[in-house]
Amino acid sequence: MRGRWSVFGIVAFVVLVSTRAQAGNDDSFFQGNDAAMLGGAVAAVGEGPDLLWYNPAGLGENQRGRLELSGSVFSLRIRHLDPFLVVDYGDGTTSTRGLRSTEFQSVPSAISYVRRLSPRVTAGFGVFVPVQDAFAAARTVLEDGDGFLELATNQSFQHQRLHLGPGFGVDLGRLRLGASLFFVYERIASNERPSLQIELMDGVRVAASEDLRFELSRLALELVIGAQLELPRGVHLAAVVRGPRIRLQDRVQIESLSFGAFTDGTETDFFFGRERGQERLRDRKAVLAAPIEVLTAIGWKSEDVRLSAEVRLTHAYEGLFENVFQYNFRAGVAFHVGEHTELGFGFFTDRTPQIEAYAALALLDYYGGSVGMTFDTPVSLGRDDDDDGPRELVFRTTVAFRYAAGIGAGFGTQANLGTEDGLLFDYTPPIDVLFHEVGLYLGSGLDF
């Protein structure tokens, strides 16, 4: 064993906050077929019902009823963090363990329906899941020499956010305007269970454990307002304002259970603690669940080609009025390679909106790309030109592949066993990390 640790440092078993497993950002899934084809850059040139989410003004160009169901067949998150668990013995030596995590999910990301109400107005309703993440990790540091030490941590984390609501688009000629109103449900739950066992040669034994539980459930309201301007020669301009997201109901529950025992061979001391806390919306000073996001886009569209680029500007989450901003970029191109087949490519960034390392396994900026293909299958209904309603149905299938690399800083857990007056447990210094997200998207649609 690497030295003797003070009894004070061992018994002062303090752990980190329990919500630190979050590592994903807010743009991990495409919310429709057009988005999968263009890397999400659809605000200026999109054509599908996913414009309810991306830019409802584009619905004003719609000419028929459309139904779309989309999801990620699989989403694979590969996360490596080394060191993840560190024991600092206070004499210049350490023991470490790394994290190797591969999380597999299948996510039904969106369902949307729009219908033309008049020659100038289209309305619809959509359900979108932009965030879904699950994480679990268990690691142990075990030392057996002139004594025995076992330090273990077991963490789990879940985060899901769902948006549902109506939207509409109005065609005013070359100018189109639209808005969507979403009711938002969000849930974050985490559990962290660290434990420590020490046995020294002189009969001193220490055992301690803690169970930290955190759960947030939230209802909120989010407004999306968009505009499109069609210029000559197929050029399109777009602007979208999303949010801010306003809390309607907020509930946070935190519970901590701790147990410990210390014996020097003749006498044994026990301690037990339990703390519970609950916070509701009325306890919060701010009602914003997310800041304002502003998007501007430019695109070009012809019968066979769509090309688009857009920039998003977002306030940091630390406060609406702080002079801290985050920029993101998307670009995409799609072109017909056959009468009923379209091929698309996209590039995007998804940089973290956080500026502090609180409550995070890692603060990451994601950079990625996508490639997709859409197949249309028209089915004639045998109607004449004089008949009301469409003369054919169009069944649409989209398959796309998405990859993103997360580059940034990770934060593990460090146990300072030589401490006299500080925290036994703390974050490690920032660790350079590279996380990976791989996804296969499958979407189906019907134009009628």
pLDDT for 84 equals: 85
Fold entry, domain 7-447: Porin (2.40.160)
User: Is the distance from CB of 26 to CB of 351 less than 8 angstroms?
Assistant: no
pLDDT one-digit tens code per residue, 358-402: 445 788 899 999 999 999 999 987 666 666 666 789 999 999 999
Q: Which residue has the tokens 């950079």?
A: 367
User: Is the distance from CB of 12 to CB of 419 less than 8 angstroms?
Assistant: yes
Q: Which residues contact 300 (CB under 8 A, 6 or more apart)?
A: 45, 233, 234, 235, 236, 306, 307, 308
pLDDT for 19 equals: 39
Give Cα 84 distance to the centre of its chain.
Answer: 22
Token pair, residue 17, equals 């906050």
pLDDT for 16 equals: 39
**Per-residue pLDDT of the chain in tens (448 residues, 90 and over written 9):** 444 444 434 444 333 333 344 455 677 889 999 999 999 999 999 988 999 999 999 999 888 889 999 888 788 899 888 888 888 877 778 888 888 888 888 888 899 999 999 989 999 999 999 988 888 888 888 877 767 888 788 888 888 999 999 999 999 989 999 999 999 999 999 888 878 788 877 778 888 888 889 898 999 999 999 999 999 999 999 999 998 889 898 888 888 888 888 887 778 888 788 888 776 655 555 677 778 899 999 999 998 999 999 999 987 655 444 556 789 999 999 999 998 999 999 999 998 876 554 445 788 899 999 999 999 999 987 666 666 666 789 999 999 999 999 999 888 878 777 766 666 667 788 889 999 999 999 999 999 8
Q: Which residue has the tokens 């309603």?
A: 389
pLDDT for 316 equals: 62
Q: Which amino acid is at 89?
A: Y
pLDDT for 422 equals: 62
pLDDT for 57 equals: 96
Residue 164 CB neighbour total at 10 angstroms: 14
pLDDT for 286 equals: 60
pLDDT one-digit tens code per residue, 156-172: 888 899 999 999 999 99
d(CA 262, CA 116): 73
Q: Cα–Cα–Cα angle for 90, 91, 96, nearest 5°?
A: 70
Strand partners, 256: 212, 275
In terms of C-beta density within 10 A (0-12 exposed, 13-18 middle, 19 or more buried), how is residue 183 classed?
middle
User: Is the distance from CB of 206 to CB of 261 less than 8 angstroms?
Assistant: yes
Comparing CA positions, the residue from 437, 436, 428 lying closest to residue 98 is 428
Comparing CA positions, the residue from 228, 226, 224, 266 lying closest to residue 243 is 224
